[in-house]
Chain A
Amino acid sequence: MVNLGNDEIVKYPFLTEAGKYLNDKGFSLEQFGSDPDLKKIVDNAFERIITSSEGKIFKSDPSSNNSALPLEIFSFLIAVILLKLSGMNTLIRRFSLAEARRAEKFLEKDLMNHQDATKAKLSLQILQELFSVTVEKTDEEFTILISDYLKHSINFHEREWKLINRKVSKGKVHLTPHETVRLVRKELDRHIYAKINSSSTPQMIVGFETYVDKLKQLAKKFEVKTVESKEFPPCIKHAIEVLEKGENLPHSGRFMLATFLLNKGQTVEQIAPLFKNAPDYNPKVTIYQLNQLSGTSGTTEYKCPSCEKVKSQDLCFAVPACDTIINPLQFGRKRV
């Protein structure tokens, strides 16, 4: 595993074992609830969570870590404790993402560090060990194997991350330092989220109650209520029209239509008649295939393909209302 100095722990606090770190520094959790000198750290931790809930990145002050108390590291660790005590998943999610973006900035800076080779080396090592991405540095560019790139880039919905929109040659994708780090943001986020989730929740600590209550209140703000219209998205309408006309709908279109309706709660018996006009209609085969898709004959329940996939299969007939969705199932869903 990567060997971390204090400097690095400030940047990547999620790489430490929280309990062990506090113990090593001679602290117990209870002290943070009762010692007025440590209150500043708890305030800081609370602030760190609030900042992340607003979608912002907690401002770093690395100088504070030269003092006897590495405030930044402690504030991260205590923030994790507060989050665990609150049990509010929505806050943990926001916190993980904000921390991932914070670490991303440091990783990027370290990657480009021409003066200190060890810093650049360490950031490459983090990418390798945490995310199994082997990055090679060539001049100002970084290259990674296409197969490695794809494992990460498929998490993005923005078109710029599609392989077709990257510079590709001889099996490698060329990236800027910013893109290299951005590529692993989701995994970084997942790593931090998983780490927080897997850490044990302590008993309520005296002195933490008010913070935890406030976090519970805050989380309520993020509850989302949605309403859904009954209208089908244009891709589904088109597929139904094609079938109604007795024209041939490609396999991918049939898959999209069937999984969409199944995911919306329709039964195999309700859906099957839709296909009766297809030139190659066979009722037995249709029922068999619908049962496969619904998971009744197999173990997998198939999901409606994403808009990106639908688009790539030439089955998309987007209207402005499609601008904000990434799956046909979300069509007509509005927040209230």
Chain B
Amino acid sequence: MNAKDITFLEDTFKKFYFENFDLLHVPDDPNQREFGYQKFNGGMNRHISLKSDKELHLLLMQNKPSDVYCSNARYMFPNLSMAEKDWQNAELIFDIDAKDLRKEHPKDNTLIKCSDCNEISQLKESCPKCQSTKLSFITLTCNDCIKSSKDEVVKLNQILTDDLGVNEENIKIFFSGNEGFHIYVPKSEYENVGSKERGEISDYIMFRGSIPETFGFKKFNMNKSSLPKFEDAGWNGRLAKHLYGTKSNRSKISQEIISGGYTLFQKKLEDFRDSIGIKIDPNVTQDIHRIFRLPGSINSKSGLTKIFVEDLKKFDPYVDACFIDDDEIEVAANCPIEFSLKKKKFGPFKNEQVSVPKFAAVYMMCKGIASRV
């Protein structure tokens, strides 16, 4: 990113923070948290300790960060090096991101950027200018992506409450600031468990590593009655619903499963991972030393804000998380597809100078498809 764009974005973000201090808070136990931030084109600054909202606001004003983070873990000495921090516990966290949900990039919402010649174009298999296949993908606003992320959040919530015994009031959902959701379980029996144990929790949620025996399929003396039933708790019940569709199909489909044999059923279970497993990012859940985007801060991948979601169904991130003002700004934009923000449509822009509201300009600059003129 060039210096002019950086200055513009830094000033815009700073203005947002100055006007929205009420959105940015340190957690209840700030003394135990590690904070971190990044600057545009800069590396990560972490191992920072902040004691109050005031100190946080000062950091935002002084450093003009592109991104701000706070640990889900609590430490005795959060500002010391990792080995000396003395880890105490960590909130259970989940990351659901649209990029992990799709099998292919959404055609109408994706751009490609060639790593060799920097050409930006509509979704193709290779760069139309130099034919290179080294491409990075840029996804713009996509309602279907948000819808599928929301569906995963709902399914995750069900497993957290029904299977893992988490109180519904203890599940906090945040829009990630780009194209997904961050889910926190702030206080629970799980906050003391380590990384390997959290790996087991993520495998459970993602339906990974299951074996036929778990669902009553034995290698010998197989009997229909041992296969999953609709009323079973946990994955057995969910699998039954997925396998049979309706209760009346159970008998017929059970027989087919038995006839197919053990190995085929095992193969099917692996395939079910994609269809019924919840698509969380396991690395986030397993990482007990992570610094996670701070609620209320702007995500520099989009210029949208990570905010608390009260009503998931009604929530529209492209309206509700877009806080940058709408002063008109001149930018050179290279955005060959259309996108929509705050219920307004923008683009396509073919390498042209355009005047757009600041929120749209910031969005495109964060996506790397526009520059200040």
Contact = CB atoms under 8 A, between A and B. Distances in A.
Interface in B205-222: 207-211, 213-214
Interface string A147-166: 10011011000011011111
20 contacts: A145-B189, A147-B192, A147-B193, A151-B193, A153-B200, A159-B211, A160-B214, A163-B201, A165-B213, A166-B214, A169-B162, A169-B233, A171-B163, A171-B165, A171-B166, A246-B133, A279-B135, A298-B83, A309-B199, A312-B209
B203 A164 contact: yes
A253 to B, nearest CB: 12
A198 B70 CA distance: 42
Contacts of A146: 164-165, 189-190, 201
B355 interface: no
A153 B233 CA distance: 21
Interface string B162-186: 1111100000000000000000000
B283 interface: yes
A190 interface: no
A165 B234 contact: no
Taking each of B166, B214, B236, which has the highest tally of chain A beta carbons within 10 Å of its own beta carbon?
A: B214
A270 interface: no
A165 B207 CA distance: 10
B282 interface: yes
B326 interface: no
Nearest to A305: B199
Nearest to A308: B209
The size bracket of the interface on A is 20 to 34
A199 to B, nearest CB: 30
A159 B203 CA distance: 12
B134 A171 contact: no
A160 B192 CA distance: 24
B232 to A, nearest CB: 9
Taking each of A145, A146, A159, A308, which has the highest tally of chain B beta carbons within 10 Å of its own beta carbon?
A: A146
A60 interface: no
Taking each of B82, B190, B209, which has the highest tally of chain A beta carbons within 10 Å of its own beta carbon?
A: B209
Nearest to A299: B83
B135 A163 contact: no
Given A159-B211, A300-B82, A154 B197 contact: yes
Interface in B134-169: 134-136, 162-166
Nearest to B135: A279
A237 B209 CA distance: 23
A255 to B, nearest CB: 9
Nearest to B207: A164
B199 to A, nearest CB: 7
B235 interface: yes
Nearest to A167: B234
B267 interface: no
Contacts of A168: 163-164, 204, 233-235
A159 B162 CA distance: 23
A160 B214 CA distance: 8
B196 interface: yes
Nearest to B132: A246
Contacts of A34: none
A313 interface: yes
B115 interface: yes
Given A147-B193, A246-B133, A165 B200 contact: no
B81 A299 contact: yes
Given A146-B164, A164-B209, A164-B235, A252 B136 contact: no
The size bracket of the interface on B is 35 or more
Contact of A279 (B115, B189, B214): B115
A164 B204 contact: yes
Interface in A168-192: 168-172
A15 B24 CA distance: 54
A252 B135 CA distance: 20
Which 8 A-B pairs rank lowest in CB-CB distance, beginning with the nearest? A171-B165, A150-B197, A169-B233, A299-B83, A165-B214, A163-B204, A147-B189, A170-B165
Nearest to B191: A147
A164 B214 contact: yes
Interface string A293-324: 00000111000000011011100000000000
Contacts of B210: 162, 164-165
A146 B199 CA distance: 13
B199 A169 contact: no
A322 to B, nearest CB: 16
Given A147-B192, A167-B234, 13 more contacts: A146-B164, A147-B197, A150-B201, A154-B196, A160-B214, A162-B203, A164-B208, A167-B233, A168-B164, A170-B165, A279-B134, A280-B115, A299-B81
B237 to A, nearest CB: 10
Contacts of B136: 279-280
A251 interface: yes
A311 B199 CA distance: 12
A147 B203 contact: no
A298 B193 CA distance: 24
A312 B82 CA distance: 26
Contacts of B81: 298-299
Nearest to B190: A147
B209 A171 contact: no
Contacts of A313: 282
B282 A171 contact: no
A162 B213 contact: no
Given A150-B200, A171-B166, A299-B83, A160 B134 contact: no
A162 B82 contact: no
Interface in B50-101: 81-83
A160 B81 CA distance: 38
A52 to B, nearest CB: 29
A316 B189 CA distance: 32
Contacts of B133: 246
